[in-house]
């Protein structure tokens, strides 16, 4: 059976535009923004009661293309980034559930971000785009959910920065969330995570082509963006994964070049990842989204009553998932989240999956992970 036959099939990106002037949205920084467009994809059918909806939040450089294929003749067309998990009779079964994945505010994959046209200047925003937060991202997602006529989400699911969005949903709109799956994530960035993000940002800002963010009509800062991706990519892997995949193998060589051409396979791999990334992502978006992730902090909110009154019988059911080799958001951070949720009296389960793939383990097909998600989703009542 082909991947097309087992997937949701052909999908199409959709767009929702709101906050037209003078009704702009006010961001946490106090800045106003509008109009705002959110790109999103949906899979499955929303039932008459509109109570079978699941929202999936993507990681920082991801997009709304969770599953299926676009209508294209390209032979290299890839399925959505969670195609192994989302689809008919898969972990998140689109025969049962209506799945929504919005592209986040500040991105460059269809939603309003720094590369979008500023209606006041008819030029790309660049650094005139206001700084946004994970909270602002979730506010725009709620507006989309309201637009779709959904009063309560059966579940909210996301990994990494997507997991931050899930926690923000639970803090801001607990009455709209029946269950939550924060995966490979944290309540706030450690100094280590902030440090790696700052190195990535400085690599872009130091590129002479960055031009203080005004590069859309000229040569973009591809070198800086590529280095930023190389740095980030190392944090997504693990020592075991890199040792297994590369070790100290040479790249098309029998001996050292005694130069800087890239002798080792791991060097070639990272250069390839960097070069590939510049063709699909915007440097300014990386600056804004990584900063939003660094600002994110719900530690105190997880230890205090919700921002919104929540009936005692409307308790969110949580499943917190971590991976043993994730050193970007280590298991101890997941356990701190579990402890905070238990302190608040929440219904929380926890699972650490043994995997040596590092932080990116949640993006790699794993029968244990799929079964865990399936069991939790189907058990929500």
* 9: in domain: no
Report the predicted TM-score, pTM, of the whole model to 2 decimal places: 0.95
Q: Is the pLDDT of residue 129 over 60?
A: yes
Catalytic residue of the set 107, 160, 203, 322: 160
**Euclidean distance between the first and the last CA atom of the chain, given in angstroms as a whole number:** 33
Together in a domain, 277 and 315: no
Catalytic, out of 263, 282, 326, 360: 326
Q: Is 359 a catalytic residue?
A: yes
- Of 266, 286, 306, the last residue of a domain is 286
Are residue 105 and residue 71 in the same domain, yes or no?
yes
368 & 340 share domain:
yes
Of 323, 336, 319, the closest CA to residue 366 belongs to 323
Last residue of one domain, picked from the residues 235, 264, 286: 286
- Regarding whether 201 and 155 lie in a shared domain, the answer is no
The CATH number covering residue 76 comes to 3.40.50.1820
Rounded mean pLDDT of 119-146? 98
Give the number of residues written for the chain: 381
My answer on whether 278 and 306 are in the same domain is no
Range of the domain at 227: 196-286
Range list of H helices, the chain: 134-147, 161-172, 191-205, 222-236, 239-245, 265-277, 283-295, 331-343, 367-378
Tens digit of pLDDT for each residue in 197-239? Answer: 999 999 999 999 999 999 999 999 999 999 999 999 999 999 9
Residues 118 and 182 in one domain: yes
Classify residue 361: in a domain, yes or no.
yes
Asked about 326 being catalytic, the answer comes back as yes
The residues, ordered by sequence, that sit 6+ positions from 89 with a Cβ below 8 Å of its Cβ are 95
pLDDT-derived band at 4 (thresholds 50, 70, 90) equals: very low
Model pLDDT, residue 2: 39
Task: Please indicate, yes or no, if residue 99 is contained in any of the structural domains.
Answer: yes
Q: Which of 58, 69, 359, 360 is catalytic?
A: 359
Q: Please confirm, yes or no, whether 233 is among the known catalytic residues.
A: no
In a domain, 6, yes or no: no
Specify whether 60 is located in the same domain as 144: yes
């Amino acid at each position: 059976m082909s991947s097309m036959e087992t997937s949701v099939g052909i999908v199409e990106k959709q767009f929702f535009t709101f906050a037209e002037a003078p009704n702009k949205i006010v961001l946490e920084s106090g800045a106003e923004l509008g109009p705002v467009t959110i790109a999103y994809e949906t899979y499955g059918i929303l039932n008459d009661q509109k109570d079978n909806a699941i929202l999936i939040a993507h990681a920082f450089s991801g997009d709304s293309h969770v599953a299926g294929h676009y209508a294209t003749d390209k032979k290299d067309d890839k399925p959505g980034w969670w195609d192994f998990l989302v689809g008919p009779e898969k972990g998140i079964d689109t025969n049962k559930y209506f799945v929504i994945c919005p592209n986040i505010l500040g991105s460059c994959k269809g939603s309003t971000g720094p590369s979008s046209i500023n209606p006041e200047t008819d030029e790309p925003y660049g650094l005139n785009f206001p700084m946004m937060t994970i909270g602002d991202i979730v506010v725009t997602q709620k507006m989309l959910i309201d637009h779709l006529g959904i009063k309560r989400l059966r579940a909210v699911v996301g990994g990494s920065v997507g997991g931050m969005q899930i926690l923000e949903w639970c803090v801001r709109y607990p009455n709209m969330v029946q269950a939550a799956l924060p995966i490979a994530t944290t309540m706030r960035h450690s100094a280590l995570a902030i440090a790696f993000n700052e190195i990535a940002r400085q690599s872009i800002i130091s590129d002479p082509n960055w031009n203080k963010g005004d590069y859309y009509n000229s040569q973009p800062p591809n070198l800086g963006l590529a280095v930023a991706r190389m740095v980030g990519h190392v944090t997504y892997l693990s020592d075991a994964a890199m040792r297994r995949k590369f070790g100290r193998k040479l790249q098309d060589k029998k001996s050292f070049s005694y130069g800087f051409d890239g002798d080792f396979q791991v060097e070639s791999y990272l250069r390839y990842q960097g070069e590939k990334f510049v063709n699909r992502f915007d440097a300014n978006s990386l600056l804004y989204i990584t900063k939003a992730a660094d600002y994110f902090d719900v530690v105190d909110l997880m230890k205090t009553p919700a921002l919104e009154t929540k009936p005692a019988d409307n308790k969110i059911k949580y499943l917190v998932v971590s991976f043993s080799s994730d050193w970007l958001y280590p298991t101890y951070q997941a356990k701190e989240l579990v402890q905070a949720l238990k302190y608040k009296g929440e219904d929380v389960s926890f699972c650490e999956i043994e995997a040596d793939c590092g932080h990116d383990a949640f993006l790699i097909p794993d029968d244990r992970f799929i079964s865990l998600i399936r069991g939790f989703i189907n058990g929500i009542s």
